[in-house]
Amino acid sequence: MSNEEAEPSEIDTCHVSVMPDEVVYWVASPEVAPTPPKIVIDGTYGGGGHSRLLLEAISGADARVIGLDRDPAVSARVESESHDPRLTVFLASYEQAAKALEQFDLTSADAMVLDLGLSSDQLADRERGFSYTVDGPLDLRFDPENGVPASRWLAQHDEKQIADAIYQYGEERFSRRIARAIVAKQRERQPISTVNELVEICRRCVPRSRNHDIHPATRTFQALRIAVNDELGILERTLRDAPDWIAPGGRMVIISFHSLEDRIVKNAFRDDDRWEVLTKKPLRPTESEVAHNARSRSAKLRVARRR
């Protein structure tokens, strides 16, 4: 686990934080937190937008925001930003939050924020393959220095495994048709290695929907990204362990962007007696926010308090 200290900034980032006012309210509002929070974990630091607002909301020289992110590009940007002793950003997954706390001889935090969506910076990076509208290597890893890229993941799995992953993680009805076409290319010694190659398969295999709202590759790319990065496994393990390092009265604030994540969060908050659910139904972005940031339209925010 490596770290850099910096002042949160939006320099060199095009990412716009989702539901920022709601995040600050549930973390630092006196109505929710009679005792002002001192230690806050931003488990998905990204462009630093949430961290910047949280630092403005919490006060005192002993207040601290601990950021975590798996993306080395985030760490590199943080390193170039000016110093702020109240913020430390670690190059690590949010499931390693307890280890980050240990770096400061802390055992618990007063709040933790997770924004589970892709950042605009990742979508804009042609070398990562996150956007199916821009050609490039089919990688899809948050951390390009670890794990295997999606192209290799496809080569290492058989037709049934690929189809099951696309169906389970992407909820794609035509998963078997897509998997069959992927494996056929491999048998022709033309394995899928680029974004456009996979997009073309999805275009052929997924009938165009009537409303044309969803790109035919959307669900498949989501599924492969989840599989390559073990996203749901990390989320489940974090929700299982977080009560051990969230102080009594502390809040867990999570923004999800698809039903698989939201279901995991909802069930974990509901089924674990250590959590008190504060949002009976997920909160949604305002019409104004969606108008200014279209990527926020599918966001759902849930909050629970540590008993």
48 annotated to a ligand binding site: yes
CB 20 within 8 A of CB 42: no
State the burial class of residue 223 (Cβ atoms within 10 Å of its Cβ: 0-12, 13-18, 19+). buried
Residue 284 tokens read as: 């949604």
241 annotated to a ligand binding site: no
CA neighbours closer than 13 Å in the CB half-sphere of residue 189: 0
Q: How far apart are CA 66 and CA 44, in angstroms?
A: 10
213 annotated to a ligand binding site: no
49 annotated to a ligand binding site: yes
What length does the chain have? 307
Q: Is the dihedral of CA 185, 186, 187, 190 positive or negative?
A: positive
122 annotated to a ligand binding site: yes
157 annotated to a ligand binding site: no
The residues pairing with 302 across neighbouring beta strands, listed in sequence order, are: 254
84 annotated to a ligand binding site: no
Residue ranges of the annotated binding site for S-adenosyl-L-methionine are: 48-50, 69, 94, 115, 122
Enumerate the known binding-site residues: 48-50, 69, 94, 115, 122
